[in-house]
């Protein structure tokens, strides 16, 4: 008989959310918006903001990773690799993964950042899982987190109501019990570059007085274009991963969707043939934390999950980037 296949199990989840809240009422005082518009168009009621100017994404990522490792009972020195999905690194370089490695004291680990906007955590999950499947590593930390408030223009009502700060982490460990990351699809389409981007600050438009005056160091989004692509992208990817694995709606315990807009999430769930009780939604409390949304959902629902639960994770974001992953949950007895 063939040896059982090695897969990457999620063996623990950690999260960090900054304590300060920015409510819809707070935003009404900043820009021409209102609670009813924000709730009905996005589903968001409040977001968390990292106010402390001495802290940034590496702080949130490290806090999430610490919680994750403590739950797993794994010492930082036993981590082989750290992947940090983020578009708000502390610095252009070195990578946030380097900073997290140092803060954690993960002496043996290497790592790097993954820049894939809202799909970053999914891409990281696929990458980390392949490292484990290939036999290269036994333990990989995959972290998704963003301090979006640091690149949001709080005079632009079309973006400032959407985004928030936060980070989540999962530990991937080798298993042969048939659970873990079982399949994934991922895509990019670079024709979407200027539909959702931060134009300056890279090598094309380094920071100058002109770029700052033109407010080019902030997120800009053509919401309608992104919305249309996100609805089909997320739903198509989720359906593809289900179809090619013979999964149908009733087989799925939860859709774990990127939290960008409640209407995009609903469309994905409809396409998968699942009901509202099979969808993780926490957008009301945290808004869109970019690479943080998926692990923050897993953290919020962790106590409810059971060994063997089929989860479909799906995301769409700037780039464009998108994808979906079939994850069979590896622990817990849930409710």
Query: Which residues of this chain interact with ligand UT7, rule CB under 6 A?
Result: 33, 37, 41-42, 118, 157-158, 161, 223-224, 226-227, 230, 260-261, 264, 288, 316-317
Closer to ligand UT7 by Cβ: residue 132 or 264: 264
Q: How far apart are CA 205 and CA 225, in angstroms?
A: 24
Name the helix (H) or strand (E) containing 263: helix 262-272
Residue 301 CB, shortest distance to ligand UT7, in Å, is 20
**Whose CA is closest to 295, among 22, 43, 60?**
60
Closer to ligand UT7 by Cβ: residue 209 or 224: 224
From first CA to last CA, the distance across the chain in angstroms is 36
Query: Is residue 258 annotated as part of the catalytic site, yes or no?
Result: yes
Residue matched to tokens 């968001």: 44
Question: Which residue in the list 24, 258, 261, 297 is annotated as catalytic?
Answer: 258
Closer to ligand UT7 by Cβ: residue 98 or 314: 314
Closer to ligand UT7 by Cβ: residue 6 or 33: 33
Residue 25 CB, shortest distance to ligand UT7, in Å, is 13
Q: How far apart are CA 145 and CA 155, in angstroms?
A: 24
Asked if 10 contacts 41 with a C-beta cutoff of 8 angstroms, the reply is no
Asked if 324 contacts 238 with a C-beta cutoff of 8 angstroms, the reply is yes
Question: Which residue in the list 160, 288, 297, 310 is annotated as catalytic?
Answer: 288
Residue 318 carries which DSSP code?
T
Query: Is residue 245 annotated as part of the catalytic site, yes or no?
Result: no
Closer to ligand UT7 by Cβ: residue 184 or 259: 259
Residue 260 CB, shortest distance to ligand UT7, in Å, is 3
Residue 114 CB, shortest distance to ligand UT7, in Å, is 16
Query: Is residue 98 annotated as part of the catalytic site, yes or no?
Result: no
Long-range contacts of 218-221 (CB under 8 A, 24+ apart): 218/151, 218/152, 218/153, 218/156, 218/159, 219/148, 219/151, 219/152, 219/153, 219/159, 219/163, 220/156, 220/159, 220/194, 220/196, 221/158, 221/159, 221/162, 221/195, 221/196
Residue 36 CB, shortest distance to ligand UT7, in Å, is 9
Residue 234 CB, shortest distance to ligand UT7, in Å, is 8
Q: How far apart are CA 140 and CA 330, in angstroms?
A: 15
Residue number with the shortest CB distance to ligand UT7? 223
**Whose CA is closest to 81, among 124, 137, 120?**
137
Q: How far apart are CA 83 and CA 236, in angstroms?
A: 26
Closer to ligand UT7 by Cβ: residue 15 or 262: 262
Mind telling me the catalytic residues? 118, 258, 288
């Amino acid at each position: 008989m063939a040896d059982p296949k090695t897969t990457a199990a999620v063996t623990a989840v950690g999260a960090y959310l900054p304590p300060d809240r920015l409510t819809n009422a707070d935003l009404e005082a900043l820009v021409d918006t209102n609670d009813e518009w924000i709730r009905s168009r996005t589903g968001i009621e409040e977001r968390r903001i990292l106010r402390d100017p001495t802290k940034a994404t590496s702080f949130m990522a490290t806090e999430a990773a610490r919680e994750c490792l403590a739950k797993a009972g794994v010492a930082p020195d036993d981590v082989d690799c750290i992947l940090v999905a983020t578009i708000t690194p502390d610095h252009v370089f070195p990578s946030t993964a380097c900073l997290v490695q140092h803060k954690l004291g993960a002496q043996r680990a290497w790592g790097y950042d993954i820049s894939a906007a809202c799909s970053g955590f999914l891409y990281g999950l696929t990458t980390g899982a392949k490292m484990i499947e290939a036999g290269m590593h036994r333990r990989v930390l995959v972290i998704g987190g963003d301090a979006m408030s640091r690149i949001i223009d709080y005079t632009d009502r079309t973006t400032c109501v959407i985004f928030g700060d936060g980070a989540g982490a999962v530990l991937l460990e080798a298993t042969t019990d048939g659970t873990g990351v079982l399949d994934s699809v991922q895509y990019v389409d670079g024709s979407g570059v200027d539909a959702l981007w931060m134009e300056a600050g890279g090598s094309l438009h380094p920071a100058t007085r002109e770029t700052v005056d033109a407010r080019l160091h902030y997120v800009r989004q053509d919401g309608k274009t992104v919305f249309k692509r996100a609805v089909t992208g997320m739903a198509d990817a989720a359906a593809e991963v289900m179809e090619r694995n013979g999964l149908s709606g009733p087989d799925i315990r939860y859709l774990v969707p990127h939290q960008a807009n409640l209407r995009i999430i609903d469309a994905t769930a409809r396409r998968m043939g699942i009901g509202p009780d099979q969808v993780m939604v926490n957008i009301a409390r945290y808004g869109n934390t970019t690479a943080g949304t998926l692990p923050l959902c897993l953290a919020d629902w962790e106590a409810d999950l059971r060994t063997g639960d089929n989860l479909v994770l799906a995301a769409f974001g700037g780039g464009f980037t998108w994808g979906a992953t079939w994850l069979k949950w590896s622990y817990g007895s849930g409710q």
